[in-house]
Amino acid sequence: DVKVTQSSRYLVKRTGEKVFLECVQDMDHENMFWYRQDPGLGLRLIYFSYDVKMKEKGDIPEGYSVSREKKERFSLILESASTNQTSMYLCAIGISQGNYGYTFGSGTRLTVV
């Protein structure tokens, strides 16, 4: 089974800081996704990528950017962190035929103070 590793389980950052969240897979799957999870709102898609150097905006990309320089790594960047970006961030990967389901990482709980 594929393994998805998110670099940090908990992060505390200050308002205005640039924040990097890393996601690494140990297979060669094309599709990688970043979600944020908030109570009562479920999962909301921020960005996704189908291949190296490719990226697509999801439903809530404002305030975020992404980088995919290598196939196995997909980074989420908060250019200038704000308190409303305090959330649980989940990385997911999938093969090209999405109906096999996604594999999720354990999540990073980010607090911006």
Q: Can you give the binding site for other proteins, defined by CB under 8 A?
A: 4, 33, 40-43, 45, 48, 50, 56, 58, 90, 92, 98-99, 101-107
Nearer to other proteins, 37 or 67 (CB): 37
Residue 104 in contact with residue 1, Cβ under 8 Å?
Answer: no
Measured from the CB of residue 15, what is the shortest distance to other proteins in angstroms? 26
Nearer to other proteins, 41 or 82 (CB): 41
Measured from the CB of residue 16, what is the shortest distance to other proteins in angstroms? 28
